[in-house]
Amino acid sequence: MEHVVRWGLLALVILALGYFGTGLFVATRLSTPVRQPTEQTPADKGLAFQEIGFESSDGLDLKGWWVPEEGSSRTVILVHGLDASKSSQYVLDTAPIYAQAGYSVLMLDLRGHGESEGNRTTLGYQEVRDVQGALSWLEAEQGFEPWEVVLHGWSMGGATVLRASPEMSVAAVVEESGYADLPLLLRDRLPESSGLPSFFNPGIFLTAKLFLDLNPWAVKPEEDAARLSEEGVPLLIIHSTDDEVVPFEHAEILAASYPDAEFWRIEGYGHVEAYTHSEYRQRLLDFLKRAEIGEAT
């Protein structure tokens, strides 16, 4: 009998090692970012810019582009999504909207993306520290206080700016195509991305938390949206019902967490494609005006 128990325990150990080993392998592979080459710069959009460097709040070297507006009392930080960069089309096409409205513009590469340091993406968990670093740079180098700064993010960047905003006293937040609950998103996306049944999801989550400093359970922007609601920080939610990456239900969850948020529901557009909508520019400027941020016109 004792012999059977020992073999049974050994079998359980082997199964556990296989289960969690597979989880760690998948978590490592899926959290390794894909760096995109820089093919365009703000100059291609008619914007004079400076290449800058600053540190995240945990000490990583980050790169960015700074488009100053002389005499401006307001600025925006544009935050890209997963496997993208500051040179992504939606970022570069949005920057002139703010610049023409009198905003200085900061576009940054998140950790592990573009030209920034880092070899791991954490889907909005550690990226919060990159936005904190950008805010610190704006204050120390350009004299902008947080209440003069708008945060605007797409997808993972949208989740990141929501998570970074509470208690920072920023002027306003714009989030596009972002997720409200990372575990909810991964529940359906992980089996497709990993090729494994959902049975492996808990193992992937746990090994990511224990070994990769990525805690999926902590990335729930819906909770941060609720805190922004309590603080009265203006929020604009933009999401397409036809988003194939982040289901529209995530926008509905965010809106439920912040009932007074402005919610622009669009149809027929893919993930982070709202910038191609004919009303995009005016919708953004109208939000900034209603949020009483400068003289956006």
For the residues 239-261, what does the mean pLDDT come to? 98
Closest CA relative to residue 171, chosen from 289, 53, 49, 297: 289
Sign of CA dihedral 266, 268, 271, 276: negative
Distances (CA, A) of 16 to 10, 19, 22, 101: 10, 5, 10, 57
DSSP letter for each residue of 19-78: HHHHHHHHHHHHTS--PPP----GGGGT---EEEEEE-TTS-EEEEEEE--TT-S-EEEE
Q: Are strands 61-67 and 104-108 parallel, antiparallel or unpaired?
A: antiparallel
For the beta carbon of residue 56, count every other beta carbon within 10 angstroms.
Answer: 24
**Residue 196: what pLDDT?**
80
pLDDT at residue 224 tops 50: yes
pLDDT tens, 144-176?
Answer: 999 999 999 999 999 999 999 998 999 999 999
DSSP secondary structure letter of residue 144? -
Average pLDDT over residues 27-42: 87
Q: How far is residue 81's CA from residue 60's CA, in Å, rounded to a whole number? A: 18
Please state, in angstroms and rounded to a whole number, the distance separating the CA atoms of residues 283 and 52. 30
Name the percent of the chain lying above pLDDT 70: 93
> Are the CB atoms for 152 and 235 separated by under 8 Å?
no
Residue 135, classed as helix, strand or coil, is helix
Q: Is the pLDDT of residue 297 over 50?
A: no
pTM over 0.75: yes
Question: pLDDT-based confidence at 6, cuts 50/70/90?
Answer: low
| CB contact at 8 A, 112 and 118 | yes
Domains and CATH numbers, the chain: 1-30+183-217 (no CATH), 36-181+219-290 (3.40.50.1820)
DSSP code string of 81-100: -TT--TTSHHHHHHHHHHHH
pLDDT class for 33, splitting at 50, 70, 90? confident
